[in-house]
Structures are given as structure tokens and as C-alpha cells.
């Protein structure tokens, strides 16, 4: 088994990233879940929903919380959970990162983190307009 992946993002982010990544990767995956936080959400209800979803995951090998914007409400919720579970948190999710997380699930934690961060950074390029 591999570490559980749990995405905590703003509405529409996790579901669409995962749907697209799954279409690209085209291999079965499991032990992951997500919650999308509405702009006007009561965080106490979100916490309960997350705890219920976490009970459905195998977390013996650890959990990776992944969120979209550092310092945002989803990120703050994820930080509290990462502290509670003494586990990993990666912020600034993008599609290349998700693809790496799915492709390298069975690697050791250090390798998975490295691959995810490299994928995220390498997926960002500036290409100047040519005249």
C-alpha cells in the first residue's frame, strides 16, 4: 500500500485536476480522496467531512495533504490536519504535480515529495512572444 493522498482545495480544483490526471495517467489508483471548500464554508463542518473521508482511507503508510493556495482557507485546514496527523502537506498543486503524485505513489516518501515538487516546478515555463 502507498501513502494516502487527500486534496483540500477551493471548489472545482481537486475534482478537475484529478479527472484530468486520471485521463492522462490511465492506470488504476486508490487510497485518495478530496474535499473542495466553498467560499462561505463553515470550517467546523468541513473538518467533520474530512475526518469521515479519512476513515475510508488506509493511512498506516502516511497521508499527503495537498492544497491549492498557501495561506488560504483550504491550506489552513490542511495545515491543522497535517499537524494533527504528523504528516505531509504540499501546497500550490498543479496538474504536473498531480500526475507525478499518481505515477510515483509506491516510491518512498522522500522520493514522492521530490518527484511531486519537481513536476510542479518543471511544469511552469515562460515562453516569450515572438514577433
Q: Does domain 4-122 have CATH number 3.40.50.510?
A: yes
pLDDT digits (tens, 9 = 90+) for 76-129: 999 999 999 989 999 999 999 999 999 998 899 899 999 999 999 999 999 998
Cα–Cα distance for residue pair 13/123, rounded to 1 Å: 17
| CB 2 within 8 Å of CB 105 | yes
Nearest to 49 by CA among 73, 33, 70: 33
pTM for the full model? Answer: 0.92
Helix ranges (H only) for the chain are 13-25, 43-54, 73-85, 95-103, 109-122
Cα–Cα distance for residue pair 74/125, rounded to 1 Å: 26
pLDDT at position 18: 96
pLDDT digits (tens, 9 = 90+) for 37-83: 998 888 888 999 999 999 999 998 889 999 999 999 999 999 999 99
Beta bridge partners of 25: none
Amino acid at each position: 500500500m502507498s501513502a494516502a493522498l487527500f486534496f483540500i482545495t477551493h471548489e472545482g480544483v481537486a475534482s478537475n485536476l484529478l479527472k484530468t490526471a486520471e485521463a492522462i495517467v490511465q492506470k488504476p489508483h486508490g487510497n485518495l480522496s478530496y474535499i473542495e471548500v466553498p467560499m462561505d464554508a463553515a470550517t467546523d463542518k468541513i473538518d467533520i467531512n474530512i475526518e469521515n473521508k479519512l476513515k475510508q482511507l488506509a493511512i498506516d503508510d502516511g497521508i499527503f495533504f495537498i492544497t491549492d493556495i498557501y495561506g488560504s482557507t483550504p491550506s489552513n485546514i490542511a495545515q491543522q490536519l497535517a499537524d494533527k496527523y504528523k504528516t505531509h502537506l504540499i501546497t500550490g498543486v498543479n496538474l504536473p504535480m498531480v500526475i507525478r503524485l499518481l505515477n510515483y505513489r509506491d516510491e518512498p516518501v522522500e522520493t514522492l515529495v521530490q518527484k511531486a515538487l519537481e513536476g510542479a516546478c518543471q511544469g511552469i515555463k515562460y515562453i516569450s512572444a515572438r514577433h
